Amino acid sequence: MPRSKNGTRRRDRRHKIMKLAKGYWGGRSRLFKTAKEAVMKALASSYRDRRRRKGEFRRLWITRISAAVRQEGITYSQFIHGLAEAEVHLNRKALSNMAIEDPTAFKAVVARAKEALAAGAPPTAAKMPPSVAASAPKKPRSAAARTAAK
């Protein structure tokens, strides 16, 4: 039985790699070994960056929302907490888009978040009666402060 040298399969495999390397500079588009390395690196980068892109867009949306809510006199974290308290379920992409394209509707959402924050805000030490403020839990002290108090 004659020895098989992968005739057409070998050519097809190499042709596939060279086709993917079309447009690369220099030997990366002409030499199989360097083209294969370049294609493998490019495919790995594109796989990684398809996932990374989602995080980059989320960061962009958060930045846009933050800028828009600061104009309304509230921070981003307070705004998101207010939305959770008000049970408003809008994702960051929709909020970002709303802040840009429909500012009046966005202001209404911010107002709703502010109302929820005001309604569900726990009393602060300044607003508490002195007897309650004294019994309020305090921050734990460091080990050095505990030994100095003894």
* pLDDT, tens digit (0-9, with 9 covering 90-100), for 62-95: 999 999 999 999 999 999 999 999 888 999 999 9
Does pTM surpass 0.75? no
Q: Which of 93, 106, 88 is nearest to 62 (CA)?
A: 93
- Alpha-carbon Rg for the chain, nearest whole angstrom, is 30
Degrees (nearest 5) of the Cα angle 98, 53, 66?
A: 35
Residues of the chain where predicted confidence (pLDDT) is lower than 50: 125-126
Element (H, E) at 17: helix 7-20
Q: Under CATH, to which class is 10-119 assigned?
A: mainly alpha
Contact 91, 125 (CB under 8 A): no
With 0-12 / 13-18 / 19 or more C-beta atoms within 10 angstroms meaning exposed / middle / buried, residue 64 is middle
